Amino acid sequence: MCGIIGYCGHRPAVPLIVEGLHRLEYRGYDSSGVCFVQNGELKVVRAEGKLKLLEDKLARMEVSLATTGIGHTRWATHGAPTEDNAHPHRSSEGDLAIVHNGIFENYLECKRDLQDKGFSFSSQTDTEVLANLIADECRSAASLLEAFANALKKARGSYSVAMLSPREPNVVYAARHSCPLILGVGAGENFVASDIPAFLPYTREVVFLEDGEIARITPTSWEVFSLLDRAPLEKKTTRIEWDMQAAQKGGYKHFMLKEIFEQPQSISDCMSGRADFVNFSVNIAELEGMEKPARLRLIACGTSYHAGLWAQSLLEGLAGIPAVAEIASEFRYRNVPLEPGEVVLIISQSGETADTMAALRIAKEKGAKTIGICNVVGSSIAREADTVIFTQAGPEISVASTKAMAAQMTVLLLMALHWSKDEHPRREELRRILTGLADIPAALRDILPALQSEASKLAARFASCRGMFFLGRGQSYPLALEGALKVKELSYIHAEGYAAGEMKHGPIALIEPDFPSFVLLPNDGLYDKTRSNLEEVAARKGPIVALTCAGKSGPDIKGCETWLLPEAYGPLNSFLMLPALQLFSYEAAAFLGKDVDQPRNLAKSVTVE
């Protein structure tokens, strides 16, 4: 994780870098720092904690003369989140400084060598080792570029890194391997950053760097070289069409709330050009010409994995394709035999998640066709998958993923329908689902305010409980997992998502009066089965909240209260239940005074293993 930014131009670099870091904070926020050259001297300012603390320090300093600099917002991997471990890190002689996102795997071995050569270290980080490795290479290399490249060739692992040195005070060097890095090309100024919003107020022209590439920017030029032999590479700029408005809070208290309320739009945008509600057909252009897969393996992490698990039964039931959903960090270390004709679906909002990325590469090595389902255009997964289908949900800033999951579910449902169209017995089903899907954005828009007020009442009642269950069967089981994940990550309350039928095999022992169960109870073929599980919970005096659309009174079980939702057709109920769960977790966190958009210990984009 971590966010990095570098700037060379005509404006005061420090405030611009700090502003960019604010837009990268979703990538990590346990410490931060900047480095700039002023009066020929390399200055480094760092602070433990939120960016505000760095700003307070900078406010007491004269920093306005520097027009070149680098900055970093950290999510700790090596060493505690202290000021000493914060980036930028200087080489021990102070002749250069770097910021780094990723993990330098062989840093201990390199550190020992460097110590033998007289280099000293003041932090526990792998990054400081890399800074000294570059400084060591400077002793024999003909140029900074050569030293930078030679050091990076010795580093194993993943990185995006930016470097500044008073030897070339108006230049920033940067490189990437398995972590995102993008160049921003402006007029009289150039940028590098982990993500586009960092520099979007200044330019929309970007260059996506690939693994094994080095960039050198000055105020008036940008060049890209191969890491291997430093040969110059031809790169094209791409114009970014979305703007900062899409990445602002727009009157909502938190990004998470804004993004929950954006779900109707995200679902519409995701269907646009793919679903034809007049002729009842689905056509995903990206899948045109591709044979229906013999098997599907859906691989992802966290919330994206829940979307994949949700889609598994739809791909089986609607399209008749055997499908299995897998956690990327597990898949990558099993030697999974992939069958001929098996297609691997890689699901990732950011398109940069390290485990998911590794799974994609393994699947490709094994000869499987890969389809990426991504939200971020230009992301690594989007570029490396054989085919990419964008979810079109717009930028997701809140660390907790919400609208991206609704969009992933929409794409996956449309894919199931796309592959089901030759199945004549399923034509009527396709028509009913599409008719229902067309109404989902409007239905959601109508109910979101009421869902929020109900969620807020329930949060006030249950936020101080010892723990809670989220239960569901079939299509509702992945949603139960997601409900529990959201409560854990945002409010730090222990929550478990469980298949309702599994409760009696152990977890039911936890049930007592201050251990509530939120039960997903759509009016589907599993209604009676789940209802019986509720009886078992009620018999043990566990409070129950049933999210249901069945009847006005709900399951009519003593001690069970109903959170009534409008009814949608079949799997579409999930689109109404998901925001209810998201809003409950949001309200519980807000009630407990937690930092909703930046929960502790987390980061938006998990680019480390």
Site for ligand F6R in 387-446 (CB under 6 A): 400-401
Between CA 530 and CA 534, with CA 532 as vertex, the angle to 5 degrees is 75
Candidate ranges 122-130, 169-177, 301-309, 466-474; the one touching ligand F6R (CB under 6 A): 301-309
544-548 and 494-499 strand pairing: unpaired
Site for ligand F6R in 507-566 (CB under 6 A): none
Q: Is 34 helix (H, G, I), strand (E, B) or coil?
A: strand
Core vs surface per residue 588-600: b (16+ CB within 10 A) or e:
bbbbeebebbbbe
Cis peptide preceding 88, ω within 30 of 0? yes
Rounded to an integer, what is the distance from CA 319 to the centroid of its chain?
Answer: 28
| Closer to ligand F6R by Cβ: residue 158 or 350 | 350
Question: Min. distance of Cβ 384 from ligand F6R in angstroms?
Answer: 14
Site for ligand F6R in 352-391 (CB under 6 A): 353, 356
Site string for ligand F6R, 302-341 (x = CB under 6 A): xxx-------------------------------------
Q: Which two tokens stand for residue 186?
A: 């402006």
d(CA 403, CA 349): 10
Question: Min. distance of Cβ 389 from ligand F6R in angstroms?
Answer: 14
Question: Min. distance of Cβ 303 from ligand F6R in angstroms?
Answer: 3
Which of 13, 500, 520, 606 is in the footprint of ligand F6R by CB under 6 A?
606
560-564 and 544-548 strand pairing: parallel
> Using only C-alpha atoms, what is the Rg of the chain?
25
| Closer to ligand F6R by Cβ: residue 385 or 400 | 400
The structure tokens 């992945």 sit at 478
| Closer to ligand F6R by Cβ: residue 346 or 448 | 346
Which of 489, 496, 587, 597 is in the footprint of ligand F6R by CB under 6 A?
489
Q: Is 469 helix (H, G, I), strand (E, B) or coil?
A: strand
Q: Residues 2, 110, 374, 549: which is the catalytic one? A: 2
Rounded to whole angstroms, what are the CA distances from 33 to 36, 120, 161, 162? 10, 21, 14, 13
Rounded to whole angstroms, what are the CA distances from 250 to 254, 259, 486, 573, 577? 9, 10, 23, 28, 25
Active site residue 2: yes
Q: Residues 43, 403, 488, 604: which is the catalytic one? A: 604
| Closer to ligand F6R by Cβ: residue 46 or 332 | 332
d(CA 474, CA 457): 28
Which residue has its beta carbon closest to ligand F6R? Answer: 302
Question: Min. distance of Cβ 304 from ligand F6R in angstroms?
Answer: 4
Site for ligand F6R in 42-61 (CB under 6 A): none
Question: Min. distance of Cβ 112 from ligand F6R in angstroms?
Answer: 34
Active site residue 604: yes
The dihedral over CA atoms of 490, 491, 494, 495, expressed in degrees to the nearest 10, equals -60
How many amino acids of this chain bind ligand F6R (CB under 6 A)?
14
Residues binding ligand F6R (CB under 6 A): 301-304, 348-350, 353, 356, 400-401, 485, 489, 606
Instruction: Please give the positions annotated as active site.
Output: 2, 604
